[in-house]
A and B are shown apart, each in its own frame.
Chain A
Amino acid sequence: MFDFDATLPLMAVQFLLLTALLNAVFYKPLMKVLDEREDFLRSGDTGSKDKLAKAESIVKEYEKQIAEARRESQNSIQKAQAEAKEITATNIAAAQQEVQSQREAATQEIEQQKATAFATLEQQVDSLSRQILEKILDPELIK
């Protein structure tokens, strides 16, 4: 069982050769691949961090713009409301004035027509009262 012979040194040499061979075809290339992948992932990590920061700054910028736009729209709404109020006020005033003048004109006309109506009435009263008198009294008496 414990018979040592030339197997021992030859096996040692063979093992060293195997180590050298595997170093060339296994450890070196695969270690390189692993290291490269690690580097790649690390750089990807920092790259993604940069991108995240950029995205956040963009979001902030947009939020600022949105706030500005909102303020602007608020302003323009207020302005428009004020303008509308003004316009309605002037319109109302103008309409009231017109109504006033039309009413005045109408009353004047009514007054005038009343006067003419009274005048014609008076005439008719005169002629009618004459006719009545004529009917009741003797026409001679009147003359």
Chain B
Amino acid sequence: MEILGALTFLNTYTLAELEVGEHFLWKIGNFTVHGQVFLNSWIVIGLLVIASLAATRNLQKIPSGIQNFMEFVLEFIRDLVRNQIGEKEYRDWVPFIGTLFLFIFVSNWSGALVPWKLIELPSGELAAPTNDINTTVALALLTSLAYFYAGLKKKGLSYFKHYIEPTPVLLPIAILEDFTKPLSLSFRLFGNILADELVVAVLVLLVPLFIPLPVMALGLFTSAIQALVFATLAGAYIHEALEDHHD
């Protein structure tokens, strides 16, 4: 009986509760917008911009401190993009893929590291922007647009020839690919981040303190990997569009 009493005592202080699909809605004209997603994305954007400004405010030939760190980040991104797209054309795509990586990475980690629950919102809760399907679909569609743009810019209308090459038999699959790419990109990211947050929330609900910690650490790892996967795949798709099949 005492144990049960302790349990009910714990339940009176809600350490965690599950909220899925509740949003802090803003109305703009006839449209509704998920406010918590934007609030958090602004925090992420602010972080990125402040870090960039701090790094580039006083550029030195021999870097130190924040400049050193951001150069390390940039070199990581540059190597990632160069590995995917190749030496010749990677430079144009560093900003896009790099921003994808940074935005997703910082978003994921902000969701995993910061106890947003402590900040009260009228409804819904602050969380990683990437655990909202709107964000991931937006990023995935931008990636699709990016690789179409890359292909069309380089090859003109003959870009569309790759649908019927090497054989027109594969045309349906080639068309299907243009839909599966953004679909898989967005759902992979959305699913991973949402699932991670749900697992942590459920574990905290069941056994508060300490037990969820390994899962949280795993969540940090998954978050980083998902950011890397998204950026790498975006690079791979763009490279595929830029690739010359014949010449």
A residues neighboring B (CB under 8 Å): 1-12, 14-16, 18-19, 21-23, 25-27, 29-31, 33-34, 36-37, 40
Contact = CB atoms under 8 A, between A and B. Distances in A.
A25 B52 contact: yes
Interface stretch (B98-106, B154-162, B205-213, B215-223): B98-106
A7 B33 contact: yes
Interface of B: 20-21, 23, 28, 31-34, 37-38, 41, 45, 48-49, 52-53, 55-56, 59, 61, 63, 67, 70-71, 74-75, 78, 91, 94-96, 98-99, 102-103, 129, 132-135, 137-139, 141-142, 194
By Cβ-Cβ distance, the 3 closest A-B pairs, closest first, are A6-B31, A26-B52, A7-B134
B23 A3 contact: yes
Contacts of A29: 56, 59
Contact of A16 (B31, B56, B59, B142): B142
A5 B34 contact: yes
Contact of A14 (B21, B41, B48, B52): B41
Consensus secondary structure, chain B interface: helix
Contacts of A7: 33-34, 37-38, 132, 134-135, 138
A25 B55 CA distance: 9
B74 A31 contact: yes
Contacts of B135: 7-8, 11
Nearest to B102: A22
A12 B103 CA distance: 12
Contacts of A37: 61
Nearest to A11: B138
Consensus secondary structure, chain A interface: helix
A40 B103 CA distance: 32
A30 B77 CA distance: 12
Nearest to A6: B31
Nearest to B35: A7
Nearest to A26: B52
A12 B56 contact: no
Contacts of B74: 26-27, 30-31, 34
A22 B41 CA distance: 15
A9 B70 CA distance: 29
10 contacts: A1-B21, A7-B33, A18-B99, A26-B55, A27-B74, A27-B94, A30-B56, A30-B70, A31-B91, A33-B71
